Amino acid sequence: MAAPQLDVRDPLEPVALIEGAAGHTDKTINDSLLAHVWRGAGKGWWACFAVALSLLGMLVISISWTLYKGIGTWGNNIPVGWAFGIINFVWWIGIGHAGTLISAILLLFQQKWRTSINRFAEAMTLFAVICALLFPLIHTGRPWFAAYWLLPYPSTNGIWPQFKSPLTWDVFAVSTYFTISLLFWFLGLVPDLAALRDSSQSKMKRTIYGMLAMGFRGSGRHWAEYKWSYVLLAGLSTPLVLSVHTIVSFDFATSVIPGWHTTIFPPYFVAGAVFSGFAMVMTWMIPARRFLGLKHVVTMKHLENMNKIMLVTGMFVSYGYLMEHFIAWYSGDPYEFAQFFYTRMRGPMKGIYWTMIFCNVIVPQIFWSKRWRTSIPVMWFASILINVGMWCERYNIVITSLHRDFIPSKWENYMPTWVDISLFAGTIGLFSTLFLLFLKFIPAVAVTEVKELRHELAHDPTADPVGETH
Amino acid sequence: MSCDDNHEARTKDRAKRRSLPIAGQTSSPKYWRSVEERDRTSPVPGAANEFAGGTFDVAQYGQEDGNGGNSVSRRGFMQVASLSTAMAAVGACTKPAHKIVPFVRRPEEVTPGNPLHFATAYGLDGYASGLLVESHEGRPTKIEGNPAHPQTLGATTSFEQSLTLSVYDDDRAKQIRSGTRPLAWRTFLAETAARTSQLGQNGGAGLRFLISPTTSPFLGDLRKRILDRFPSAKFVSYSSVADDGATDGTKLAFGKPLIARHKVASANVIVSLDADFLGEGNEQTRLSREFAARREPSRQMNRLYVVEPAMTITGAMADHRLRMPGGDVGAFLASLVSMMASRGIAALAPLASLTHGQRHWDPKWLVAVATDLERNRGNSLVIVGRRQPAAVHALAAALNVALGNLGNTVEYATPLTSDPTAGVAPLGTLVQEIAGGGVDTLVITASNPVYGAPVDFKLAKLLERVPNSIYFGLYEDETAAACKTMIPAAHPLESWGDLRATDGTVSIVQPLIAPLWGGIQEADVLAAFVGEGDVGAHALLKKFWKTQGKAPGDFDGTWERWLADGIVPGTAAPAEAGLTVDGQALAQAVAPALGAARQGMEIAFASDPKMYDGRFANSVWLQELPHPITKLTWDNAAMVSEATAKALNLEDGDVVEISYRDRRIDAPILRVPGHADDVVTLPLGYGRTGGEKVAAGIGFNAGELRFSDAPWFDRGVRLEKTERQIKFSITQDHWTMAPDGRETPPPVVSATIAEVLNPHSKFHTEVEDRRPDPEHPQPVIHKPVDYSGQPYKWAMAVDLNKCTGCSACVVACQSENNITTVGKENVRKGREMQWIRIDRYYTGSFEDPEVVTQPLACVHCETAPCEYVCPVNATVHSDEGLNEMVYNRCIGTRYCSNNCPYKVRRFNFLNYINDYSAARELGMNPDVTVRTRGIMEKCTYCVQRIERKRISTRIEGRMIQDGELLTACQQGCPTGAIVFGSLNDSNSKVSQLHADPRRYDLLYEIGTRPRTVYLARVRNPNPELGQPEKAGGHE
């Protein structure tokens, strides 16, 4: 097949979706994208893995200590009943949103540029949700009961969960989200697993990948079934992008606490989730595309698009902040006013507040500039700042709101303990460990989709020369 | 729901039931309440048979050993070992050996599970506080005041509440010992007998007794018998917080040592000079009640002036407060007296020239007080505190007499303690005798004098010179370490005895439980010196009272009534009549004592509202109780004013070196609003170095700077900042109601009496805005529940005008509800567990703030924010409006606490009950679940009391009457500030208070519809002194 001369460059912004697409065939794409799986683990991988594993060890130790001694090993107190545990939960859940958004919503909108990054982002979703799921369980006083009393099962004592409580909604929202994300990710993997099976060199690998591929042989019927079920799951996932963080925001919004009790939370949380999720994808993608040799499929076009999304969602988030403060003043509620204009801006935790404002409001503004939007060091650094900023935002919401609420006699400060810090560091370790294993055993880019994209770009006369439909 | 039909049948049924043995009856019990009791019929080997067929079968678990006997397998051994540990714990709970009589003579029927109440008495300074002790199956679990007792009137102090903790204290001394040699009581008696016969040869010249001041007629009689046998022996009373100034002062004024009995109820104007009469002293419970009764907002409301150096709860209640060093109070009083004299009060004329040049106080203040006193002649009262020297007490007595207050607001009576003085002077003579080598045998029953005595006495060192020193105490404390022989004392709840209230009324002290750790009673120790150490305190006591002629006829019957009632009728002692003051002589006597104060900073010592003089230092409840003013727990601090701290560049927690005379100690600084400048107040009772584990390492010992010539205050102390800092565990870090300047509605509403009495004042609109208006109900999402069909609609009202912040309710609640303590570190983290907290706010200037206190527990919102957020239905609403906690359902998400706007929920962050000793578990209230880790808890409105009362009234076929059901906090409160009852009874006290014009709902604007409401604080300022400024605040 003679490869036609492809012009996959935007005349205005000449950046390709597949670098050197013309020179690629299915085989070369296959080889280049599966290479990092077949390549033995290098020194770099082992070094990263060692760091991740030791952080994971901290997680194991701190969870064990928490279960052995109780929540008293954390810094929580009355009034700060929720602290790092819930911050981390919300932060991780938020990070998970990028994957679903990229995979599902961009798929439904037929955004072709999603193909190179969706696998990556979906895996991150999954791992982030695993990290997030740890916290609701271990942050309870008696996790051995929480594990099943939160679930509505018919029992002889006839007591059901309290369906008025947003925490009960949370259980459904997050577990649904995890299940759908897992299915969606796995389904997307099936053709690639089959490709791995076919290119395996050893019998054991062939067997394992073969089992995981579930007998996918690439027949027309397989492809047809695969396609429609993938779109179906994408359709199921789409509302989840909105619902999960909406319900997480209800954990706060349904309460009476100034700083929590606000109607803007659902959209503001979802925007924040996408914002932080994209930032996290950036933070990992930039080194991964370099070290795994994926620069030809994860191009500057991808990175730039993601920066644009971060700019947009960053503006949403800034608007959320603005509105919170405006309503606090406009409503005339003295407690809410005090929360935003005294406690947050000028209270003992004002450092966190101003860090949040800097990272989430100021930093994304640099993406207005084309030059900075396309500068790898700038965007990488900015993405890390945004992660920090979004963590601070949750700190502000959870701890700062609680530590000074209505009656000054029971205001207390909050100090995290070593357990709090190792739990947070530990989940980063868990996330990294899972992610490194993912990079080692599963193609980081959806090979099938890239090949498909190449074909589409090559054969579809109606295809947008840039590979983007508007 | 009438039970009348069933009532008769039930009564018959009950009569048919076999009555169970009452405590003390000798018939062998068929039902047993402890393993020991059960086993009393069968000796221990018989008990082994129980195991043979059951838990422990030797044949099954044991193995044949080489000698043909059974050796016990490891598993079997463990079973026996654990069983015996359990038995040791259960067996520790034994009823007293002699018959004790419950408070209300109920049918002779003890129902397991139903508690009995026994009347007894406790004497902090030797004077009785009549108590009722709740006893569950022979275990005292809760202290209440005896309503029939003239001193307590049914209320308590936090000290008294803590007795049910200290009785089970595992740290108590448990072994009689001489040096390190354990002694049997009989051996001790034999050795004492030998010693005393030797001592008797010279009339007991070397025999000395150092006792706590006591009013006990019985111990007084024993003392007389000892002195009869050993005419040269001597008794000395000592307390490190004795109020010798008062008795010495009345001696100056009236020629004989007398004690003042105050009657605040009839005083329109009270001038309190360094007197914390609401917070300490023998009369505090009664005076609190009387004072609060006169705070009802009306034209009859009393007015309180307080002059004091450090803020006390009395100062916090003051309408006008003047802060000044303790050493200047005398000069202030002298000026007041001479001003009164110049206004034509003839009796004071000889004292007119006492005025001193130094007048650093506001002259307007003096004029206002003088005018007010003059206006209220006969109905005014001047009270002087125990720290003030004799001259000040004498002047106050003269002033009271001159104002015609005698007999109306104050009367003077002969001290009922066996020694009129118990301070430095009598101890000084004993010390000289010891130093002179004249003391051979010294029996110390005083409370830890080695810790409490002035440092210049060097008592610990001196005791080495006493060949035979015997200490009788509850703990292996500092004094025990310095004495040769240690006798573990029986706890007040384990002892027989008697005590007199300030008015003379005798109470018999009856034990609630046999000594847990084999403690010996004080009477037994003293009786050993008349050869009756083995007779037993009960027999001696009963024999003594038999001879007193108070019970003609059937003595045993009368005796039982005394025990049951808690008072011996007809024993009140009359006051002195016809007292006059020789003004001329008094003027001469007091003039030198009122000499100009020396320059320099003042060092002032104060008894602690939690540790007192150190004797409560091992009580975790009191250690963790927030200080009523500073809210400091688990520490004491050198308290200074803001100005003094600023001048010395000190912050809270800075450790300073305090040097006074030739001694130095390190102490952390705490700034206290309203504290006098240039004074450092050092609370006593901390820095203990005895064997008490809880007390060890807590705070600093202010006694290290206490000299015999300046037991309370002196000038010339220096503070030097060190590099060190400590972190306090303070439960309320913020001083004002808007620490950062926010404009939120203040949690406490306060007003002046003029504003309250004027129906059109701003005050009334303010409180009206903060309570439900039937015509404009708050918007709600759900239809409000109608509670009017329920039998009860429980609610509470707290009158902030009556709350002194004394904190008795906090400990009462802790005791009633098995509330744990969490320790210093966890308090610092904000994890204290007390269900009721007393918020203290300052308003006005830092220098002269007004103080308001607000007890706050769960307010049982009708639309409770905590309930709908719980994912597992662990906190739900009852039909009668209680917000209930279902402990065994709770998984500990803590969302309920986050969503509680009052922040009154408490979480078990750790398994605090791990630290409980087996003995402490005996003191738990069996009606209340003990909470483990990971569970949320909070005030339940004492639901166990509601249910108990519901059961008993249902059996009687009637409704619960208003006032017969008290919550623990309500019952403990000395002022009656807390009222609980049903709103469905429109005549109930709580219904009336809910309709009071001063009522407001805390956080009304959130719409939680709290069932606990507050009544605004009212002050009665003297219009001549103008309104104290209200604006501004400090953090």
Instruction: Please report the pLDDT score of residue A454 as a whole number.
Output: 74
- A107 is a domain residue: yes
Buried b / exposed e along B906-923 (16+ C-beta atoms within 10 A): bbbbbebbeeeeebbbbb
Instruction: Please report the pLDDT score of residue A19 as a whole number.
Output: 62
Q: Do A410 and B870 touch (CB under 8 A)?
A: no
With both helix axes pointing from N to C terminus, report the angle between A376-395 and A300-330 in degrees, rounded to the nearest 10. Answer: 30
B936 in reach of chain A (CB within 8 A): yes
Mean pLDDT, all residues of chain B? 85
Nearest CB to B898 within list A142, A347, A402:
A402
Structural domain of A92 = 43-152+160-444
Q: Do A71 and B907 touch (CB under 8 A)?
A: yes
Report how far residue B720's alpha carbon sits from residue B812's, in angstroms, rounded to the nearest whole number: 40
Residue of A nearest to B743 (CA): A334
**A255: closest CA of chain B, how far (Å):** 6
Let me know: does B939 contact B155? Beta carbons within 8 Å: no
3-state secondary structure of B668: strand
**A148: closest CA of chain B, how far (Å):** 10
Let me know: does B575 contact B400? Beta carbons within 8 Å: no
Contacts of B732 in chain A (CB under 8 A): 409-410
Contacts of B745 in chain A (CB under 8 A): 334
Report how far residue B270's alpha carbon sits from residue B303's, in angstroms, rounded to the nearest whole number: 6
Beta bridge partners of B472: B487
Q: Do B909 and A82 touch (CB under 8 A)?
A: no
Residues ≥6 apart with Cβ < 8 Å to A389? A355, A356, A358, A359, A360, A363
Token pair, residue B333, equals 């009083």
Q: Do B741 and A139 touch (CB under 8 A)?
A: no
Instruction: Please report the pLDDT score of residue B15 as a whole number.
Output: 45
Which of 71-130 (B) contact A at CB < 8 A? none
Instruction: Quickly list DSSP for B739-793.
Output: TTS--PPPSS-EEEHHHHH-TTSHHHHHHHTTS--TTSPPP-SSPPP--TTSS--
Contacts of B902 in chain A (CB under 8 A): 406-407, 410
Instruction: Please report the pLDDT score of residue B991 as a whole number.
Output: 94
Report how far residue A237's alpha carbon sits from residue A177's, in angstroms, rounded to the nearest whole number: 8
Which of 599-638 (B) contact A at CB < 8 A? none
Handedness of CA B306, B310, B316, B321 (dihedral sign): positive
pLDDT cut 90: percent of chain B above it: 53
Nearest CB to B897 within list A78, A149, A408:
A78
Residue of B nearest to A162 (CA): B871
Of residues B47 and B474, which shows the higher confidence score?
A: B474
For residue B320, pLDDT beyond 70:
yes
Which of 729-748 (B) contact A at CB < 8 A? 732-734, 736-745, 747
Q: Do B892 and A146 touch (CB under 8 A)?
A: yes
Token pair, residue B906, equals 């408490």
Q: What share of chain A is helix, strand, coil (3-state, %, to 5)?
A: 75, 0, 25
**A158: closest CA of chain B, how far (Å):** 12
Instruction: Please report the pLDDT score of residue B553 as a whole number.
Output: 82
Split at pLDDT 50, 70, 90, the class of B308 is very high
Provide the strand spans (E) within A154-255: none
Short-list B882, B891, B880, B666, CA closest to A165 = B891
Token pair, residue B347, equals 């009796």
Q: Do B830 and A145 touch (CB under 8 A)?
A: no
Buried b / exposed e along B364-397 (16+ C-beta atoms within 10 A): ebbebbbbbbbebeebbbbbbbbbbbbbbbbbbb
Per-residue model confidence as pLDDT tens digits over B449-500: 999 999 999 999 999 989 999 999 999 999 999 999 999 999 999 999 999 9
Instruction: Please report the pLDDT score of residue A234 as a whole number.
Output: 85
Single-letter code of the amino acid located at B23: A
Alpha helices in B71-216 (DSSP H): 74-91, 158-161, 163-166, 185-199
**What is B244-413's CATH topology?**
Dimethylsulfoxide Reductase; domain 2 (3.40.228)
Q: Do A145 and B737 touch (CB under 8 A)?
A: no
Contacts of B868 in chain A (CB under 8 A): 162, 164-165, 254
Tell me the whole-structure pTM to 2 decimals: 0.86
Q: Do B901 and A412 touch (CB under 8 A)?
A: no
Domains B244-413 and B598-730 share a fold: no
Instruction: Please report the pLDDT score of residue A154 as a whole number.
Output: 82
* Bond preceding residue A79 cis, omega within 30 of 0: yes
Report how far residue B425's alpha carbon sits from residue A158's, in angstroms, rounded to the nearest whole number: 73
Contacts of B736 in chain A (CB under 8 A): 408
Instruction: Please report the pLDDT score of residue A18 as a whole number.
Output: 64
**B854: closest CA of chain A, how far (Å):** 10
Distance of CA A15 to the CA centre of its chain: 26
Short-list B529, B452, B428, CA closest to B487 = B529
Token pair, residue B590, equals 């007091």
Residue of A nearest to B909 (CA): A72
Q: Do A142 and B871 touch (CB under 8 A)?
A: no
Report how far residue B925's alpha carbon sits from residue B813's, in angstroms, rounded to the nearest whole number: 11
Per-residue model confidence as pLDDT tens digits over B206-251: 899 999 999 999 999 999 999 999 998 999 999 999 888 899 999 9
Kind plus residue range of the DSSP H or E element containing B476: none
Residue ranges, chain A, pLDDT below 50: 1-14, 463-470
Nearest CB to B934 within list A71, A164, A342:
A71
Mutate to test the interface with B, among A78, A90, A344, A404 (most CBs of B within 10 A): A78
Instruction: Please report the pLDDT score of residue B95 as a whole number.
Output: 64
Per-residue model confidence as pLDDT tens digits over B133-151: 998 888 899 999 999 999 9
Report how far residue A271's alpha carbon sits from residue A273's, in angstroms, rounded to the nearest whole number: 5
Report, as an integer, the average pLDDT of B15-33. Answer: 44
Alpha helices in B603-722 (DSSP H): 620-624, 642-647
With both helix axes pointing from N to C terminus, report the angle between B537-546 and B217-229 in degrees, rounded to the nearest 10. Answer: 90
Which stretch, B771-775, B781-785, B954-958, has highest mean pLDDT? B954-958
Rounded to a whole number of angstroms, the CA Rg of chain B reads 30
Q: Do A407 and B856 touch (CB under 8 A)?
A: yes
* Lowest-pLDDT range of A256-270, B12-26, B822-836, B883-897: B12-26
- A121 is a domain residue: yes
The residue extents of the domains of chain B are: 4-91, 244-413, 598-730, 750-773+790-1025
For residue B65, pLDDT beyond 60:
no
**Residue B92 CB coordination number (10 Å):** 18
For residue B830, pLDDT beyond 70:
yes
Instruction: Please report the pLDDT score of residue B69 as a whole number.
Output: 42
Short-list A242, A115, A131, A244, CA closest to A188 = A115
Of residues B129 and A154, which shows the higher confidence score?
A: B129
Short-list B609, B688, B634, B614, CA closest to B832 = B634
Instruction: Please report the pLDDT score of residue B741 as a whole number.
Output: 81
Residues ≥6 apart with Cβ < 8 Å to B1018? B295, B297, B301, B750, B751, B752, B753, B756, B801, B998
* Lowest-pLDDT range of A404-413, B480-489, B572-581, B827-836: B572-581
Instruction: Please report the pLDDT score of residue B624 as a whole number.
Output: 94
- A301 is a domain residue: yes
Residues ≥6 apart with Cβ < 8 Å to A425? A55, A58, A59
- A469 is a domain residue: no
Buried b / exposed e along B623-641 (16+ C-beta atoms within 10 A): bbbbbbbbbbbbbbbbbbb
Report how far residue A165's alpha carbon sits from residue B483's, in angstroms, rounded to the nearest whole number: 64
Token pair, residue B514, equals 């046999």
3-state secondary structure of B978: strand
Rounded to the nearest 10°, the torsion over CA B810, B816, B818, B823 is 20
Burial class (CB in 10 A: 0-12, 13-18, 19+), B163: buried
Short-list B861, B909, B892, CA closest to A167 = B892
Short-list A232, A239, A107, CA closest to A176 = A239
Mutate to test the interface with B, among A175, A409, A413, A420 (most CBs of B within 10 A): A409
**A165: closest CA of chain B, how far (Å):** 4
Instruction: Please report the pLDDT score of residue B81 as a whole number.
Output: 62
For residue B1032, pLDDT beyond 70:
no
Split at pLDDT 50, 70, 90, the class of B23 is very low
- A404 is a domain residue: yes
Beta bridge partners of B116: B135
Split at pLDDT 50, 70, 90, the class of B3 is very low
HSE-CB of A455 using CA atoms within 13 angstroms: 9
Residue B594 is classified by DSSP as: G
Residue of A nearest to B839 (CA): A409
Contacts of A141 in chain B (CB under 8 A): 890-894, 907-908, 933-936
Report how far residue B87's alpha carbon sits from residue A71's, in angstroms, rounded to the nearest whole number: 34
Q: Do A410 and B738 touch (CB under 8 A)?
A: no
Split at pLDDT 50, 70, 90, the class of B57 is very low
Short-list B833, B826, B937, B898, CA closest to A403 = B898
Contacts of A75 in chain B (CB under 8 A): 829
Q: Do B871 and A347 touch (CB under 8 A)?
A: no
B911 in reach of chain A (CB within 8 A): yes
Instruction: Quickly list DSSP for A282-294.
Output: HHHHHHHHHHTT-
Architecture of domain B750-773+790-1025: 2-Layer Sandwich (3.30)
Per-residue model confidence as pLDDT tens digits over B146-169: 999 999 898 999 999 999 999 999
Which of 336-395 (B) contact A at CB < 8 A? none
Contacts of B871 in chain A (CB under 8 A): 150, 161-162, 165, 167-168, 171
Which of 737-796 (B) contact A at CB < 8 A? 737-745, 747
Q: Do B901 and A82 touch (CB under 8 A)?
A: no
Mutate to test the interface with A, among B732, B869, B898 (most CBs of A within 10 A): B898
**Residue B270 CB coordination number (10 Å):** 29
Model ipTM?
0.89
B151 in reach of chain A (CB within 8 A): no
The residue behind tokens 């003390």 is B24
For residue B50, pLDDT beyond 70:
no
Q: Do B907 and A142 touch (CB under 8 A)?
A: no
- A467 is a domain residue: no
Per-residue model confidence as pLDDT tens digits over B653-705: 999 999 998 999 999 999 999 999 999 999 999 999 988 889 888 999 999 99
* Lowest-pLDDT range of A430-434, B201-205, B890-894, B897-901: B201-205
Let me know: does B627 contact B298? Beta carbons within 8 Å: no
Per-residue model confidence as pLDDT tens digits over B96-120: 667 766 665 554 556 777 888 889 9
Let me know: does A260 contact A84? Beta carbons within 8 Å: no
* Lowest-pLDDT range of A78-82, A382-386, B5-9, B265-269: B5-9
Per-residue model confidence as pLDDT tens digits over B947-981: 999 999 999 999 999 989 999 999 999 999 999 99
Handedness of CA A123, A124, A130, A136 (dihedral sign): negative
Instruction: Please report the pLDDT score of residue B665 as a whole number.
Output: 93
The total number of residues written for chain B in this structure: 1035
Mutate to test the interface with B, among A151, A250, A410, A414 (most CBs of B within 10 A): A410
Mean pLDDT, all residues of chain A? 85
- A206 is a domain residue: yes
Instruction: Please report the pLDDT score of residue B331 as a whole number.
Output: 86
Domain B598-730 class, CATH top level: mainly beta
**Residue B303 CB coordination number (10 Å):** 22
Q: Do A70 and B839 touch (CB under 8 A)?
A: no
**A386: closest CA of chain B, how far (Å):** 28
Per-residue model confidence as pLDDT tens digits over B323-360: 998 888 888 888 888 888 888 888 888 888 776 656 67
Q: Do A161 and B736 touch (CB under 8 A)?
A: no
Instruction: Please report the pLDDT score of residue B19 as a whole number.
Output: 42
Short-list B1032, B734, B739, B743, CA closest to A337 = B743
